Amino acid sequence: MTVPSRTPSPARRIVDAAREVIAENGIPGVSMDQVAKQAHVSRSTLYRIFPNRDQLIARVVAIEIRTLRRKLDKAIVGFTPQQTLVEVFVLSIDQAASNLAVSKVLAAEPEYFLRIPRGVWDLLIQGIVIRLRNSGAEQDYAELCSVTDLMLRVTGSLLSNPPTGLDVNDTAALRAYGEKYISRLLV
């Protein structure tokens, strides 16, 4: 018995197409016309679902954040706050390095991640802070947000300009780096 395949919704096709266009051209090279063509939807359908380019890109980023959170939730069971922060660091780099769209943006325009819409950035930080709290972190919320923000900025910096001697594709080396430097951000 074969299971009938389901056609993705127009919104999903648009987001997937946007990810492909970003991987190919970077963020500046993303045009709504390209995305509509790649997604096989009309311009009016695209603009009905995503009224502007920034909202579309923010949706792509939000999906990447949810993917990271799901992976993190599976990995941090029973971890201390320091171990959780290190795992966030390692998984963030791993996901970014393995994602063509993110890799393209980091290579061509690393400063983009400093301009992620505040709401999307806050969503990422809040998700990590919740996981730190669940692992036993006792710092106040504002301090955990600051620690998380700093860790994410270090992550972005390492991805866009890796230091000599640190292979961002070597999970064991990243974990050792995280244990030596990133875990110290939490008291």
Q: Using alpha carbons only, what angle is made at residue 13 by residues 34 and 21, rounded to the nearest 5 degrees? A: 35
- The mean-pLDDT minimum among 7-16, 83-92, 93-102, 112-121 falls in 112-121
Q: What is the pLDDT, as a whole number, of residue 37?
A: 95
109 band by pLDDT with thresholds 50, 70 and 90: low
Lowest pLDDT segment from 78-87, 92-101, 149-158: 92-101
Q: How confident is the model at residue 163, as a pLDDT?
A: 78
Q: Which residue has the higher pLDDT, 60 or 98?
A: 60
Q: Are 166 and 177 in contact (CB under 8 A)?
A: yes
Q: At what angle do helices 81-98 and 118-134 cross, to 10 degrees?
A: 140
pLDDT at 1 over 60: no
Flag whether pLDDT at 120 surpasses 90.
Answer: no
- What sign has the CA pseudo-torsion 107, 168, 134, 139? negative
DSSP structural state of residue 7: P
Task: Kindly write down the DSSP assignment for every residue of 91-158, as one continuous string.
Answer: HHHHHHHH-HHHHHHHHH-GGGGGSS-HHHHHHHHHHHHHHHHHTT--S-HHHHHHHHHHHHHHHHHH
